[in-house]
């Protein structure tokens, strides 16, 4: 049994349980001495239950927040048929047949538009209240109250279904929007990260081709640089697609641009990172991330400048400074350990030339 079939089966079971209250109709009809009205009434009860269950099964997949016009037409057709079958039970079952009005009212409250369902339920309530008082030999068995309570209960189910439908639609919309935003993010990152790199690859390839007949050694150097650039570009594509942007130097430059713009900080950032060797890129990426994070969180700076070279990266701001406190492996202390692991050093502190803070990492070339 699949998850799709399970709710449907239990839904049928839930709907069929309520048919138990038609037992009074059946008992009254079995006690009817007139054979014609007894058989007619029993057949009408069976057809009444069948129409009720058929209507529920045909409309189970309809969302409460989307009511097509054919649903209203089908509901009115079912109500008319059920009222006709109710009328066929009256001669044989008497006031016990008024139980059918509860099912008709419940069906109306669930599937008809509210402006039609409420008047219909009120009309059925009035009929259930008036008939026992006007027909000789009938007694008031509380059918009017049953119609009223059944209508209110099913209307509550209806409202819950509508809220659930709106919630499901909102969740689906949010999921679709998240997918669209993620696609837009990847597209923007690929544009920011790879646009310049691929341009440089093209230029170097053209240069190497021209140098093959002029300066073979320089052509070999350009081809080696071209290979390194291609590998770095491939790594950037992979990290961007996977969302692992913390180890991508071009990705951190793009992220820093977004973060500083969101914090209303004027930024002077490098356009590319092609000159930085592969071995230094991860360290420089962490440096930019930590420094920009401190600027956004603590410095209250108005301007930030990032200077990038093959053997160094420097971040300058005009704010009040930041301490870079953090857990082990994070903050400036973590950067210092990363720099020392590559034989480099970290310099962090107040600027000498003007107010502000400076973070600089240098590694041997």
DSSP string, 107-137: HHHHHS-HHHHHHHHHHHHHHHHHHHHHSTT
What percent of the chain shows pLDDT beyond 90?
A: 18
Which residue, 228, 320, 238, 326, is CA-closest to 277? 228
| Cα dihedral 62, 68, 71, 76 in deg (nearest 10) | 150
Query: pLDDT: is 253 or 202 the higher one?
Result: 253
pLDDT at 153: 87
For the chain, helix, strand, coil in percent to 5 are 70, 10, 20
- Given 174, 191, 226, the domain boundary residue is 174
CA distance 141 to 229: 88
pLDDT band at residue 8 under the 50/70/90 scheme: very low
Query: pLDDT: is 129 or 271 the higher one?
Result: 129
pLDDT digits 0-9 by tens, 254-273: 878 877 887 788 999 998 78
Strands (E), 200-273: 266-268
- Domain range for 74 is 5-174
Give the chain's mean pLDDT.
80
pLDDT at 316: 92
* CA distance readout (Å), 52 to 80, 92, 107, 133, 320: 12, 21, 8, 28, 75
Residue 143, token pair as written in the block? 């059918």
pLDDT at 244: 52
Question: Do residue 30 and residue 148 come from a single domain?
Answer: yes
Please, which residues bridge with residue 315 across strands?
Answer: 306, 359
Instruction: Yes or no: say if 163 and 178 are a contact pair by the CB < 8 Å rule.
Output: no
Question: Do residue 348 and residue 250 come from a single domain?
Answer: yes
CA angle 103, 116, 45 (to 5 degrees): 20
Question: Do residue 252 and residue 123 come from a single domain?
Answer: no
β-pairing, 303-309 vs 312-317, is: antiparallel
217 is a domain residue: no
Place of tokens 């009223």: 148
Which residue, 20, 37, 19, is CA-closest to 28? 37
pLDDT at 12 over 60: no
Averaged pLDDT, 341-358:
88
Q: What is the CA radius of gyration of the chain?
A: 38
Indicate the pTM of the whole model: 0.49
119 is a domain residue: yes
pLDDT digits 0-9 by tens, 223-264: 887 787 777 777 777 766 666 544 578 878 887 887 788 778
Place of tokens 């009309």: 123
pLDDT at 39 over 90: yes
pLDDT at 326: 39
pLDDT band at residue 328 under the 50/70/90 scheme: very low
Strands (E), 201-319: 266-268, 303-309, 312-317
For 32, phi then psi, to 5°, come to -75, 120
Averaged pLDDT, 338-356:
87
Averaged pLDDT, 2-8:
43
For 328, phi then psi, to 5°, come to -55, 135
pLDDT digits 0-9 by tens, 57-111: 765 545 454 566 778 888 899 999 999 999 999 998 888 889 899 999 988 888 8
Buried b (16+ CB within 10 A) or exposed e, 218-253: ebeebbebbeebeebbebbbebbeeeebebbbbbbb
108 is a domain residue: yes
pLDDT digits 0-9 by tens, 145-162: 989 998 888 888 888 877
CA 100, 20, 57, 169 torsion-angle sign: positive
356 is a domain residue: yes
Residue 135, token pair as written in the block? 């027909």
Averaged pLDDT, 209-213:
84
358, containing H or E segment:
strand 357-362
pLDDT band at residue 171 under the 50/70/90 scheme: confident
pLDDT at 13: 63
199 is a domain residue: no
pLDDT band at residue 305 under the 50/70/90 scheme: very high
pLDDT digits 0-9 by tens, 313-322: 999 998 876 5
Residue 337, token pair as written in the block? 């350990």
CATH of the domain at 304: 3.30.565.10
Averaged pLDDT, 343-359:
88
What percent of the chain shows pLDDT beyond 70?
A: 83
Question: Do residue 258 and residue 345 come from a single domain?
Answer: yes
Question: Do residue 253 and residue 169 come from a single domain?
Answer: no
**Which range is least confidently modeled, 55-69, 138-152, 170-184, 206-220?**
55-69
Question: Do residue 155 and residue 250 come from a single domain?
Answer: no
pLDDT at 351: 87
pLDDT at 2 over 80: no
């Amino acid at each position: 049994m699949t998850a799709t079939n399970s709710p449907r089966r239990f839904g049928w079971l839930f709907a069929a349980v309520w048919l138990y209250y038609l037992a009074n109709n059946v008992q009254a009809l079995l006690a009817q001495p007139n054979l014609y009205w007894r058989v007619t009434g029993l057949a009408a009860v069976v057809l009444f239950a069948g129409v009720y269950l058929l209507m529920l099964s045909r409309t189970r997949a309809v969302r409460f927040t989307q009511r097509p016009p054919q649903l209203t037409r089908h509901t009115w057709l079912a109500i008319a048929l059920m009222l006709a079958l109710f009328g066929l039970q009256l001669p044989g079952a008497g006031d016990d047949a008024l139980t059918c009005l509860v099912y008709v009212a419940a069906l109306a409250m669930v599937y008809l538009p509210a402006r039609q369902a409420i008047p219909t339920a009120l009309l059925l309530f009035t009929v259930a209240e008036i008939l026992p008082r006007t027909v000789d030999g009938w007694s008031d068995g509380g059918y009017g109250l049953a119609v009223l309570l059944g209508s209110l209960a099913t209307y509550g189910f209806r409202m819950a279904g509508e809220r659930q439908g709106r919630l499901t639609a909102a969740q689906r919309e949010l999921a679709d929007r998240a997918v669209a935003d993620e696609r837009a993010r990847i597209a923007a990152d690929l544009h920011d990260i790879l646009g310049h790199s691929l341009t440089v690859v093209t230029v170097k390839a053209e240069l190497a081709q021209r140098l093959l007949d002029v300066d073979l050694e320089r052509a070999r150097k350009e081809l080696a640089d071209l290979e390194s650039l291609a590998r770095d570009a491939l790594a950037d594509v992979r990290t961007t697609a996977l969302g692992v942007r913390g180890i991508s130097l071009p990705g951190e430059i793009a992220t820093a641009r977004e973060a500083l713009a969101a914090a209303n900080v004027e930024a002077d950032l490098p356009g590319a990172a092609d000159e930085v060797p592969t071995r230094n890129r991860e360290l420089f990426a962490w440096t930019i991330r930590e420094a920009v994070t401190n600027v956004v969180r603590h410095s209250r700076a108005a301007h930030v400048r990032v200077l990038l070279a093959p053997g160094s990266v420097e971040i300058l701001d005009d704010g009040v400074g930041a301490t870079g406190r953090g857990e082990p492996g994070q903050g400036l202390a973590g950067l210092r350990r990363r720099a020392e692991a590559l034989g480099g050093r970290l310099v962090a502190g107040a600027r000498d030339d003007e107010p502000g803070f400076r973070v600089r990492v240098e590694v041997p070339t």
